Amino acid sequence: MVHPLYSINARSNRANQGLGLEFVKQLLAFSNTFVIASCRDPNAATELNELQHKANGRLHIVSLDVSDAASVKASAESLKGVLEPRGLDYLINNAAIVSVTRADMNDSLI
């Protein structure tokens, strides 16, 4: 449990659906959290935008495509002013890039 005297800065990737969205909801349940949520297309993230509207300035949404290096860099740059001077306490990386062919896998993984 988060102690009520401390504020927490957290970021959840792929936050427009599933586990990422649930992480955002759970973090916002604490009144002392500031959450940064990222997804590929924030404009299409209807439920995430609804949460932002209700979060009283405690939810910041940023565009991020983890498969695109330019998007990752732009996302990091856009957050400099948002995170200063405190920084980030937690990162929930709920997105991944997997590039594995069947030939790369051994029998124990299949």
Query: What is the average pLDDT across 60-73?
Result: 87
pTM value surpassing 0.85:
no
Flag whether pLDDT at 1 surpasses 60. no
The DSSP annotation for the chain comes to ---TTS-EEEEESSTTSHHHHHHHHHHHTSTTEEEEEEES-GGG-HHHHHHHHHTTT-EEEEE--TT-HHHHHHHHHHHHHHHTTT--SEEE---------GGG--GGG-
pLDDT of residue 110: 45
Model pLDDT for residues 87-103, shown as the tens digit of each residue = 888 888 876 666 656 65
Can you give the residue ranges of every domain in the chain?
8-109
Q: How confident is the model at residue 106 (pLDDT cuts 50, 70, 90)?
A: low
The architecture that CATH gives domain 8-109 is 3-Layer(aba) Sandwich (3.40)
